[in-house]
Amino acid sequence: YRRDVMLRLLDKYFKHIASWNIPEGGFYIWLRLQSEIHTRKLFYHALHAGILLNPGSIYDGSDQHHLRLSYSYASIEELEKGIIMLANLCKKLRTK
């Protein structure tokens, strides 16, 4: 259920700035951001806004395009609030 909610939120708020695969199991989704969004900068802005996320560079030092988003602990309301805030940050931080 939570996975499906997260997928609907991503489709609504991220379809023009990222891509992702539908996971068959687990508790997270790997999001691939468009190349003009710098994940390191996004990480710090998100942290300041109270959003904890895992940039791909934690798992692969050269990965500057992925985020690992978990949907296992937050409530549905928190997921929606966090996804909206994160999408707004991504749009704000896009390089021209």
pLDDT tens per residue, range 18-32:
999 998 888 889 999
- Helices 2-13/76-93 angle, 10° precision: 30
pLDDT of residue 13: 95
CB atoms within 10 A of CB 2: 15
What local confidence, expressed as pLDDT, does residue 81 receive? 92
| pTM listed for this prediction | 0.85
Tell me the residue length of the chain. 96
Please report the pLDDT score of residue 95 as a whole number. Answer: 63
- Name beta bridge partners: 67: 31, 55
* Ranges of the chain whose pLDDT falls below 70: 95-96
Question: Tell me, what's the pLDDT at 2?
Answer: 85
